[in-house]
A and B are shown apart, each in its own frame.
Chain A
Amino acid sequence: MKTIALYSIKGGVGKTASAVNMAYLASLQGEPSLLCDLDSQGASSYYFRISASRKYNSEKFLKGKSRMYEHIKATDFDNLDILPSDFSYRNLDIELSEAKKPQKKLRKNLEALAEDYRHVFFDCPPNLTLLSESVFAASDLILVPLIPTTLSIRTYAQLLDFFNEHDLDRSRIRAFFTMVEKRKSMHAEIIEEHQNTAGFLRQQIPNSAEVEKMGIYRAPLNAVRPASAAAKAYRLLWDEITATDPGR
């Protein structure tokens, strides 16, 4: 099992769209994927027309395997399941802080799913909290979508600092540019500056109305508009990630 987190300190950077499309692309390879919607806003779940069952809350999520099993739901796509978000996820940090080894808690709970899923994706909330730390500890790969702006680059630097301060393994982090607008000179300059930096993926995701329309389609872009520019970009990005994956 390979765990991949889609993470950003900053919101509105195309994190959920990336998580949904990449989880879908992974499922197309024929082995089951699970998308864990950890964001209390539940955007991933919404994209799959799924709402969490009424009985679900964060406490159950942390109780591990059996509880988690009960709340996994199939999407309408083969080999793609989702652990839906629930509003109570905003309490996850409080729950985690009461756990014995909060950073390792998530990793431990996931071990039970190893036989069921080849890929597990985390769609993370945009903040840097105990939950984020737990996700970092549980992820083999941390994908950071960045809009090519100075502010984005700054939050990325903050993330790297956080890893340094907490003695975490930075080599698991990969950044990639999203919502790229070719005509904006600042976008071009920032991409030019960072493209060859270690830890940056080469493939970019263009800014696209199609991505925004995922809220109307309520399905992965790669499933409903596979020929669109953004869908193609996601496919190439996923290829780049799987090709450079040392675990394969």
Chain B
Amino acid sequence: MRNTVMIIPRMPGYQQFRILNPVDALAAPHMTEAFLQDGYRLRESLFREEVRTYYDTFEWQAFDKGFSLASVGKVLYLYDLESGRTADSARFSAPCSFFAGDLPEGTLRKRLLEASAIRAFSRLTTLHISLRSWKLLDREEKTLGTVNVECWRGVQTEKIVPSASFISLNPLRGYQEEMLEAAALLDPEAHCSDGRGVRRLFIDAMTDAGFQVGGYSSKIALQLDPEAPVQLSALSLLRFTTSIMRLNEDGIRKSIDTEFLHDYRVAIRRARSILAQLKGVFPPETALPASKALKAVAAKTGPLRDLDVYLLEKEQFRSWLPEALHPGLDTFFAALSRRRKVLQRSFSSYLDSPEYVALLNLWNAFITDSATPDPLPAPNASLPTITVARRTIRKSWKKLIRHGRMVSRETTDDELHAMRIDCKKLRYLLEFFISLYPPKTITPAIRHLKGLQDNLGSFVDCSVQLAFLSEQLETAVTGRNDVQLAAALGGLMAVLHERQEQARKEFHKAFSRFQDDRTTELFEQLTTG
């Protein structure tokens, strides 16, 4: 019974926590006992060894929420990173990687879904843990709380001494003071308290195992120098997006979740979009082939990503259709899954192909060359970053406004598709240059743009999906003439069409919000010196 080890109090703020010198860890409570008040004593209540296999998403989303996640046998535990205490648990035999939605209904599932519904929790490393607990008893033999010593030992390391040890006190409700008195008696030589809780130990253990906790985010975190030549700023962005690409390759190969490919694609789009928008910064004879190399890679990923999107929407699609149409929908999704598997394998082998290596080499040669280019083909390369930022954001913003105003009352598909691309270009510029501006200006500007993007995004998604479904419908009819499949596709198309028309209707409203005085003022501030 685990709860007897880590008592989960119903009120917070109960625990005393100290990191121990590992050598002294197990002896510490005994040393304390000699100092206890007359009649008080420690009674050993538990000794257990367990193997914990830790999990988190690629983006460390459990860690970000203040937890570590580990499986012990057939149970999955969530531990609080400050206290080390068990925060939740569920019966679940965790495979190499799993999704929050795979867990049985319950509080742990809910908490993991809050951390991430879309990213897989993957196996990190395994630690051997020994747990020893003592009950602190008073003269009446009443339990006042437990004293726990936890020692961690990495599986890989041959070290005899544990990599980390800590002692924690769990006073029972109403016995905090008595437990604090006992804590004061703990041998001061034995503890090296640094006040950072189990979090520090967890990070160290992960580092030992070769993981950089919190080491991944696809968000742009560049600190640009406004006065630096824009060519160097752009190169630092391109190197960043390239590193994102490379970091995601392995996850794509292993098909862990859909976000590896998504981040990979966004990194390419971002790089190409910035290259295209920074006119006169790089000589076209090197920039164009480099950009084309990336384009060739990206082209290989499009159909795979489309399938990912459908598969992610599976539950939503189901909810749109009456149960009578579910069998047809299942046929549809089964076909998509099979197709996805084929494309995933093919792209994975592409990642290991000489062709890919050659394209990457070409691209890498382009982004490693920091020499100031010849001013004739690249007259703007040496301009201060801030100057170019103002100029390009202004150009992109004005273009978006100009196009938006030209969108007819009919709001044709082509017009809205084009608007969406304009929005993305501006968004990438704002995110690239974000560090040059005060957050109070750039953050709301991005937010307002996002409002418009959401409208256009839902329109375009619907229309892309409609086109795909009608293509499927044709093959369904000419092929095995599967009536159920056709009915399900028809049902989906009706819903998508309605949503698409809804988004179309809302475009003018979304656009007028984007070109109101407040947004205009923000963009004026961003684009004038």
Of the stretches A66-74, A94-102, A158-166, the one at the interface is: A66-74
Q: Which of A13-55 contact B (CB under 8 A)?
A: 32, 48-51, 53
Give CA–CA (A53, B175) in the complex, Å. 10
Give CA–CA (A69, B176) in the complex, Å. 13
Q: Does B143 contact A (CB under 8 A)?
A: yes
Q: Which residues of A contact B11 (CB under 8 A)?
A: 69
B176 to chain A, nearest CB (A): 10
Q: Which residues of A contact B138 (CB under 8 A)?
A: 49
CB-based contact B140/A71 at 8 Å: no
B11 to chain A, nearest CB (A): 8
Give CA–CA (A49, B175) in the complex, Å. 13
CB-based contact A49/B174 at 8 Å: no
Q: Does B2 contact A (CB under 8 A)?
A: no
CB pairs A–B below 8 angstroms (30 shown): A32-B10, A48-B142, A49-B138, A49-B141, A49-B142, A50-B140, A50-B142, A51-B140, A53-B174, A69-B11, A70-B174, A71-B174, A72-B173, A72-B174, A73-B172, A73-B173, A73-B174, A73-B175, A74-B172, A74-B173, A74-B174, A76-B142, A76-B143, A76-B172, A78-B3, A81-B173, A81-B174, A116-B10, A218-B140, A218-B141
A86 to chain B, nearest CB (A): 13
B147 to chain A, nearest CB (A): 15
Q: Which of B121-158 contact A (CB under 8 A)?
A: 138, 140-143
Task: Report the count of interface residues on A (CB-CB < 8 A).
Answer: 17
Given contacts A32-B10, A116-B10, contact A49 B173 (CB under 8 A): no
A83 nearest CB neighbor, chain B only: B174
A236 to chain B, nearest CB (A): 27
B107 to chain A, nearest CB (A): 14
Q: Which residues of B contact A218 (CB under 8 A)?
A: 140-141
Apart from the given pairs A72-B174, A73-B172, A81-B173, 13 other A-B contacts in the complex at a CB distance below 8 Å: A32-B10, A48-B142, A49-B138, A50-B140, A51-B140, A53-B174, A69-B11, A71-B174, A72-B173, A73-B175, A74-B173, A76-B142, A78-B3
Give CA–CA (A196, B10) in the complex, Å. 42
Give CA–CA (A78, B138) in the complex, Å. 18
Q: Which of B152-186 contact A (CB under 8 A)?
A: 172-175
Contact with B along A195-223 (1 / 0, CB 8 A): 00000000000000000000000100000
Q: Which residues of A contact B175 (CB under 8 A)?
A: 73-74
B142 nearest CB neighbor, chain A only: A49
CB-based contact A49/B3 at 8 Å: no
A114 to chain B, nearest CB (A): 13
A51 nearest CB neighbor, chain B only: B140
Give CA–CA (A219, B172) in the complex, Å. 17
Give CA–CA (A48, B174) in the complex, Å. 13
Give CA–CA (A72, B11) in the complex, Å. 12
Q: Which residues of A contact B143 (CB under 8 A)?
A: 76
Give CA–CA (A116, B9) in the complex, Å. 11
CB-based contact A49/B10 at 8 Å: no
A73 nearest CB neighbor, chain B only: B174
Give CA–CA (A116, B173) in the complex, Å. 13
Give CA–CA (A116, B175) in the complex, Å. 18
A70 nearest CB neighbor, chain B only: B174
Q: Which residues of B contact A69 (CB under 8 A)?
A: 11
Contact with A along B172-215 (1 / 0, CB 8 A): 11110000000000000000000000000000000000000000
B227 to chain A, nearest CB (A): 58
B140 to chain A, nearest CB (A): 4
Give CA–CA (A51, B142) in the complex, Å. 10
A196 to chain B, nearest CB (A): 42
Give CA–CA (A70, B140) in the complex, Å. 21
Q: Which residues of A contact B3 (CB under 8 A)?
A: 78
Give CA–CA (A48, B175) in the complex, Å. 14
Q: Which residues of B contact A50 (CB under 8 A)?
A: 140, 142
B39 to chain A, nearest CB (A): 13
Give CA–CA (A108, B3) in the complex, Å. 33
Q: Which of A91-150 contact B (CB under 8 A)?
A: 116
Give CA–CA (A6, B172) in the complex, Å. 26
Q: Which 10 A-B pairs have the closest CB atoms?
A: A73-B174, A74-B172, A49-B142, A74-B173, A49-B140, A76-B143, A72-B174, A81-B173, A72-B173, A73-B173
Q: Which residues of A contact B10 (CB under 8 A)?
A: 32, 116
Give CA–CA (A228, B452) in the complex, Å. 73
Give CA–CA (A71, B173) in the complex, Å. 9
Give CA–CA (A176, B293) in the complex, Å. 87
Q: Which of B6-20 contact A (CB under 8 A)?
A: 10-11
Give CA–CA (A70, B175) in the complex, Å. 10
Q: Which of A183-200 contact B (CB under 8 A)?
A: none
A116 nearest CB neighbor, chain B only: B10
Q: Which residues of B contact A81 (CB under 8 A)?
A: 173-174
Q: Which residues of B contact A72 (CB under 8 A)?
A: 173-174
Give CA–CA (A70, B11) in the complex, Å. 11
A167 to chain B, nearest CB (A): 38
Give CA–CA (A50, B175) in the complex, Å. 11
A245 to chain B, nearest CB (A): 24
Q: Which residues of A contact B173 (CB under 8 A)?
A: 72-74, 81
Q: Which residues of A contact B140 (CB under 8 A)?
A: 49-51, 218
In the complex, which of the residues B11, B140, B142, B174 has the most CB atoms of chain A within 10 Å of its own CB atom? B174
